[in-house]
Structure 1
């Protein structure tokens, strides 16, 4: 099975590999994963679940069309509010597309600390804000905001892996 991830970020590729390897089925055993950057069709900082899901689906569809792939995977991180609670949350969505079926899954959601939330609410993108707050470069290519917000108990790869595992459901189980 030839799988393409619609991103050049190695964290996203690793998350897909880990989600595939977690299963003992033929999809996992036969999979090779290739990273290929494609446009998401959404803003640099997706806001809300609908835009974040649309970005993941667009990436999956776009990367599937780029080559001879069995599955295209799109991963998109965003920020969103939830009914019944205050603040903005880091969210992540995955879409897996084989040209006929699209599976969707979400990763964990984590509340943004007040100062980070303020900056993002004012229009800043989370990645550069995290680089600034942590006085580091390329946080999104390592542990990500998820790692920072959880004291590295859940890094970005693990969080995205959960989203991909959920999106793989229609392809790895007969329940759908």
Structure 2
């Protein structure tokens, strides 16, 4: 479906969820998470929505802002959806090293929003050094682990867990957690 040409949009009986990314991993895990959380089918697609933050966000504040911006920028481009989802990966450092995580931000037609954060995991020194030097995490992973476009597949988490947890599974849980206020409207 092309969201650039609204006149080609055909309404569906399924609610529409728009992900602020064309990354197939982010789109498929969003569809699975919504289907599981609501126990019904959704039409899910993605657009290239800007995050308006650094290419490699650092810290919770910038990473969450990137996720929010992706959702809100998706809404601006295609207000006909029922939900808009922003997924933004980030890094941070503590005394143990550099670690990765992602924020999920969901916006609904009624104006309600929610967010959730994935688990965190530490990055190898070789990857962390490249990121500290200004490289985006996915590119650093590709170089260190001799992969191609790993962020559209298993991502860092998939590489480092030897596929036990891939990027889709990693995001899916956080998306479902961000949906808690929407599936429990009487409580929120």
Q: Residue 20 in 1 paired to residue 34 in 2?
A: yes
Runs of 4+ in 1 over 4 A off after TM superposition: none
TM-score, normalised by the number of residues in structure 2: 0.86
Q: Residue 74 in 1 paired to residue 86 in 2?
A: yes
Cα distance, 1:81 vs structure 2: 2.5
Q: Which residue of 1 aligns with 2:12?
A: none
Secondary structure of the residue that 2:97 maps to in structure 1? coil
1:6-30 residue CA offsets vs partner (Å, 9 max, x unmatched) = 001000001101111222x3xx414
Cα distance, 1:101 vs structure 2: 1.5
Q: Which residue of 1 aligns with 2:97?
A: 87
RMSD over aligned Cα atoms: 1.3
Cα distance in 1 between the residues matched to 2:173 and 2:140: 24
Q: Which residue of 1 aligns with 2:153?
A: 142
Q: Is the 8 A contact 2:71 2:86 kept in 1?
A: yes
> Which of residues 51, 61, 75 in structure 1 aligns to 2:72?
61
TM-score, normalised by the number of residues in structure 1: 0.92
Secondary structure of the residue that 1:46 maps to in structure 2? coil
Across the two proteins, how many residue pairs are aligned to each other? 171
Alignment of 1:148-163 (within 5 A): 148-163=159-174
RCO (CA 8 Å, sep 6+): is it higher in 1 or 2?
Answer: 1
Cα distance, 1:39 vs structure 2: 0.4
Larger of the two Rg values belongs to structure = 2
Secondary structure of the residue that 1:115 maps to in structure 2? helix
Structure 2: give runs of 5+ residues left out of the alignment: 1-14
Structure 1: give runs of 5+ residues left out of the alignment: none
